[in-house]
Structure 1
């Protein structure tokens, strides 16, 4: 009897051990599955958060893959079947949004006026905007008094002249056949550099004929905001017909305060490097420099407390020229552009080079003539 009890106890012990081993195995299996799931999630998370892949490029979509490797590298138009923005009637194919955004980012970084102006995206070639001259009439009344009729504001229509901006970078077929050649980044950089060079000149001094109308192309007047006609920019003279007079700081201070206080919030100076060199040498009557260098890397230099934007397309200091502009360009100048850039691949014109003819419609015009002031070289 005692022997049977011991046997049953021993069997029970073995059963407990077996069940414990089975439970341990299940726990190990479960941990393995959990670890595998975590690893997969971690890979997905890293892939989603990874900023660049494939030689410094963002992870490509199928659309970008077909456009870059199929069309740009090999010229296979059948690779564009997944694209909804094909516009062969316009002379090319609309680039995918990712590449267009890359061009836009690069363009914003190297185009000085674009950095400070107001930029709007349009779906058509034209853009129109109504603005009021002098604002809308208003007044004060008591709670129960009759509301007098306000006068009708005067409206002005802004329709920036537009033109087709183009760039035509070229690469050899050997470069395109090289899988290590970063075609996407190279093309975006080349197009943006050419666009920036051309539009920088147009935004400053464009004629308005098949191109934007630059702010220096506006009518000029010495009258203040209340007396000046709509669309004309106010300027003050430098006091000398070849440069600055004996008190240059007084002229620059006057220029600052011709701008309304509301516009001075966010205002900046615009001049080219030659003018900047001359301005850096200007001193006050007590010998202090007007120029204030940026104290932190990446912070712009300042003149009378306002940042300076270097635009090489501004004129040099010469009689009758306006080498210095001051104003709130986000309120004063409007850039209207179609968001789509079209690219036509041309492997035939200059063999063995392949040209990429890129086009984009861009317009520009002074939006608020009270927000930009000029310094003119005159006695």
Structure 2
């Protein structure tokens, strides 16, 4: 029951049976003849395409092979096994392709298909970004609004009808149930599946968020612990002291000093004006716009704030971190230049524990200086970054083994922050994980446009209060290092 069974063997019938070959012998398919009582007719399993063609071209052999579905299945199975044994490259190719497919699935940013028991009422797989948070406020809207077409069609200010009104009421109930922790700015809560997809796309072009430490915020203000460390001269981690003692000696108490950083969600608003035709005639085009342009804009304005924000009504950027250290220009260094000594000294000011994950962040204007900087040796010298001489090929995009990220969001060449050595593991991003969208057909009524805004709440703060004095040496160390102005 519940499976496939061979039909009972009838007296006088012929059945193909597979006889295992001896080492270095071809496999054989045998035919049992009940009338012959033990006699067999042996058919050799082909070893290659030519032998297969020969076997199938022989009427007697072909008749025995296709005598029943079972005999045909046994023949094909043994032929396939023989090919795999004789050609190890087939197994190697299968293994390599399988590993490649699993690697693609496990790689960070792909959308993964999850199929869990009772996850969806209809049993269908649910697509989720890895940035999806099932506890986020907008998660309750995912079932009804699985894409931008459904969501924007429902919340557009010009939408009419019972369906649109019912959808807006549902969003309002969830938004109100979320409580007073979200200020009443108007607009509709964006479903979590769409919010997480915005973040997934934005990560592909962001400088800071993709490398920083992201802290989910369940409330508008979240205190986050930090170790108040300023010096490693006599203690580490803000007050831990180690002592060597004799056996049975008295232990000396020590305790680290903990501080805290308060992450307070700031409001980032994206605004655009969209022709009403996109809502009424081509909502699919608008969905593509929301899936591409808005994530890019989100990454852009976040990066600007995480880089140079002043902390007043906006994040505090790493360039303005109290813990940041500046490397002074060289004696006699020309204005607007970068010399190899600047790079070497900036590297030496990085926390040793951070070197393995630190990256260079440089304004694109610095490229000519980086590409032509040379190491002076007596009266001569040679280029130190691009060394092939003929200019062929791409630049290495690493300096002293660490990646270089070019951006237009850093300071321009010659000013402090035009090239920085940063460990973003020491930068905190507080993510409120709630976005709102609102449209208005009245503000641009005369232009037949819909004004649209998307509101995100986020904060960014350096995770260290000050530079650290090393155990030995006079130069302070920091995860945020920049070259001072060369004027």
Q: Could you say whether these structures have the same fold, taking a TM-score greater than 0.5 normalized by the shorter chain as the test?
A: yes
Residue 249 of structure 1 aligns with which residue? 340
Call closer, same or farther: CA 1:146–1:301 in 2, change over 3 Å.
same
Residue 117 of structure 1 aligns with which residue? 212
Call closer, same or farther: CA 1:50–1:330 in 2, change over 3 Å.
closer
Q: What RMSD in Å do the two structures reach over aligned CA positions?
A: 3.4
CA displacement at 1:166 relative to structure 2: 0.2
Asked if 1:74 is matched to 2:159, the reply is: yes
Call closer, same or farther: CA 1:68–1:322 in 2, change over 3 Å.
closer
Residue 326 of structure 1 aligns with which residue? 421
Q: Larger % of helix: which?
A: 1
1:136-151 aligned at under 5 Å gives the runs 136-139=239-242, 145-146=248-249, 148-151=251-254
Inter-partner Cα distance in structure 1 for 2:387 and 2:209: 24
SS in 2 for 1:259: coil
TM-score, length of structure 2 as denominator length: 0.57
Call closer, same or farther: CA 1:210–1:292 in 2, change over 3 Å.
farther
Aligned counterpart for 1:63 among listed residues 145, 159, 176: 145
Asked if 1:95 is matched to 2:184, the reply is: no
Inter-partner Cα distance in structure 2 for 1:128 and 1:296: 48
SS in 1 for 2:145: helix
Residue 442 of structure 2 aligns with which residue? 348
1:206-355 aligned at under 5 Å gives the runs 206-218=309-321, 231-239=322-330, 240=333, 242-244=335-337, 248-285=339-376, 286-291=381-386, 301-318=397-414, 321-331=416-426, 333-351=427-445, 352-355=448-451
Inter-partner Cα distance in structure 2 for 1:232 and 1:328: 12
Residue-by-residue CA offset, 1:330-359 (whole Å, 9 max, x unaligned): 22x211121111111212111211122111
Is the Cα–Cα contact under 8 Å of residues 366 and 412 in structure 2 kept in the other structure?
A: yes
Call closer, same or farther: CA 1:180–1:159 in 2, change over 3 Å.
closer
Residue-by-residue CA offset, 1:155-179 (whole Å, 9 max, x unaligned): 3322246421001123222111225
Q: Which runs of 5 or more structure 1 residues have no equivalent in the other structure?
A: 1-46, 52-59, 219-230
CA displacement at 1:126 relative to structure 2: 1.8
Is the Cα–Cα contact under 8 Å of residues 113 and 311 in structure 1 kept in the other structure?
A: no
CA displacement at 1:146 relative to structure 2: 5.0
Inter-partner Cα distance in structure 2 for 1:50 and 1:166: 27
Is the Cα–Cα contact under 8 Å of residues 323 and 375 in structure 1 kept in the other structure?
A: yes
1:134-213 aligned at under 5 Å gives the runs 134-135=236-237, 136-139=239-242, 145-146=248-249, 148-160=251-263, 162-179=265-282, 181-213=284-316
Call closer, same or farther: CA 1:198–1:179 in 2, change over 3 Å.
closer
CA displacement at 1:280 relative to structure 2: 1.9
**How many residues matched?**
310
SS in 2 for 1:278: helix
Call closer, same or farther: CA 1:296–1:126 in 2, change over 3 Å.
farther
Deviates more, 1:60-69 or 1:302-311: 60-69
CA displacement at 1:50 relative to structure 2: 8.7
Residue 376 of structure 1 aligns with which residue? 484
CA displacement at 1:309 relative to structure 2: 1.4
TM-score, length of structure 1 as denominator length: 0.71
Call closer, same or farther: CA 1:205–1:129 in 2, change over 3 Å.
same
Inter-partner Cα distance in structure 1 for 2:258 and 2:188: 39
Is the Cα–Cα contact under 8 Å of residues 284 and 290 in structure 1 kept in the other structure?
A: no
Q: Is the radius of gyration larger for structure 1 or structure 2?
A: 2
Inter-partner Cα distance in structure 1 for 2:216 and 2:407: 23
CA displacement at 1:112 relative to structure 2: 1.4
